[in-house]
Amino acid sequence: WSHITWQDNREIIDALEKRPAGLFCIVDSECLMPNAKDEGCLNKIHATFATSKIIYKPSRFASTNFAVAHYAGEVIYDIISFLEKNTDKLHADIINLFKTSKVALLKTLFTDPRFAPELSAGGGAAAKARPAAASSRGGAGSERAKQNVTVGMVFRQQLDQLVEDLNKTNPRYIRCIKPNGEKEAHNFDSIDVRRQL
């Protein structure tokens, strides 16, 4: 057997999520700003990554795009409605309605901390992202921090939890032996099996 060579994506991951100047952090900070505009966010992205080969302006001409050189190739994103999609807020009345719903699934989705990270102890992603603001304002600040949970924050929190869970495991790999190259039932090719062993 031979070792699998894999590409180290640390540089890409850092460009996307490293604090304080990663792409996700820039988008999240723009979402928290009052009257933030997509164009302002795009300007910050271009300014922050002016010399980057990972996140860059895909064209010399004026546009609303930025590109990310992922491991699989270049992906071009359009900034229009990026901030709105990242905020993804439901009106407080709708959330309260779902919390008191008679449909068990809806009630669980909006009251269980596993599905609504802002309800978990410490405020979840919002508390981690803005601890000083929440503590300095008391109850009102922590309520505001809960409202400022973005899709990006929740995604990163879930990804961090997944990595933490994976690091707790001891993976085992099982090598499957194929009885034949034709994938036929009741056909045992002893030479091919010996080659795999």
Q: Is the pLDDT assigned to residue 19 strictly greater than 50?
A: yes
Structure tokens at 74: 């270049």
Give the chain's mean pLDDT: 81
- pLDDT at residue 45, as a whole number: 94
Residue 75 pairs with which residues in a beta bridge?
68
pLDDT number for residue 64: 93
Q: Using a pLDDT cut of 90, give the percent of the chain over it.
A: 24
For tokens 């905020």, name the residue.
87
Average pLDDT over residues 81-88: 86
Provide the pLDDT for residue 93. 87
pLDDT tens readout for residues 105-149: 988 988 888 776 556 554 444 444 444 333 434 444 445 455 578
Q: Among the residues of the chain, which ranges form H helices? A: 10-17, 23-32, 38-48, 82-87, 92-99, 104-111, 124-129, 131-137, 139-147, 151-168, 190-196
Of 23-27, 75-79, 145-149, 159-163, the range with the lowest mean pLDDT is 145-149
